[in-house]
Structure 1
């Protein structure tokens, strides 16, 4: 069984990154300009409440794209259905819980997934505090 690929950021830190080994470029999907209203097909109030909770968070972190709106809707609809089952004293089937967990991971909403999801768009590049390490100090003229 082949070893899993090391994340590019780890290669950069370790000094083993090579441009000829970079993977294909990531797709840059268009971000939504404003927080969208919940779709009218959401099945219940719990789903709408979850949409109103998650959509602003994802939008603020540049994780909500035009292509991801329907997936967010599915996540919220599934969340609403699971809450209804719990409220009725029933337990959801394991596949529903697993699917909800998968949707949550896709948006980086679990602690483990937060490190794997990168914001979309072109954020301003912060200054690199390590850029001057190893460079000779600038000489005054």
Structure 2
């Protein structure tokens, strides 16, 4: 691959990081203080079980926010419906499976997506090498 992009961490170490090229700061959504109960409208026990499982995992990793509760509920409802279809000997549609996979990726629940999601508690406190004496580009 010709001219791959240099990772941001290497730019900081090299002293070539430029503030004008940084993206906007992510919004700071309030975290859920404790693991919430599943919504009453979840369609079946499979969905409620998935809610209990995922809500605990996401809460422990500080990824569950007030704003993400509805998306988590939709993920669990879809998961419950797919499991219900499989239990009945039927096959879910490809779009249902694709949508479930998309929801799972949004929460960092697939192997590839895990590297893209950064939990709030693990945010870096800055780069210890940023002030390494090199001149910054201006």
The TM-score bracket by the shorter chain reads 0.7 to 0.9
Q: Which residue number corresponds to residue 97 of structure 1?
A: 97
What is the SS of the residue equivalent to 1:42? coil
Task: Give the deviation of 1:25 after TM superposition.
Answer: 1.1
Answer 1 or 2: higher relative contact order, Cα 8 Å, separation at least 6: 2
- Residues 5-64 of structure 1, C-alpha deviations (whole Å, 9 max, x = no match): 958xx2222434311110111111100000000000000000000001000100011110
Answering whether residue 38 of structure 2 is matched by residue 13 of structure 1, we say no
Query: CA separation of 1:126/1:26 partners in 2, compared to 1, >3 Å: closer, same or farther?
Result: closer
Structure 1, unmatched stretches of 5+, are 136-141
Map 1:12-91; keep pairs closer than 5 Å.
Answer: 12-14=9-11, 15=14, 16-91=16-91
Report how many residues are paired.
126
Task: Give the deviation of 1:124 after TM superposition.
Answer: 7.1
Q: TM-score, normalised by structure 1?
A: 0.79
Task: Give the deviation of 1:89 after TM superposition.
Answer: 0.7
- Give the whole-Å Cα distance in 2 for the aligned partners of 1:65 and 1:77: 18
Name the Cα RMSD after superposition.
2.5
- Residues 75-97 of structure 1, C-alpha deviations (whole Å, 9 max, x = no match): 00000000000011110000000
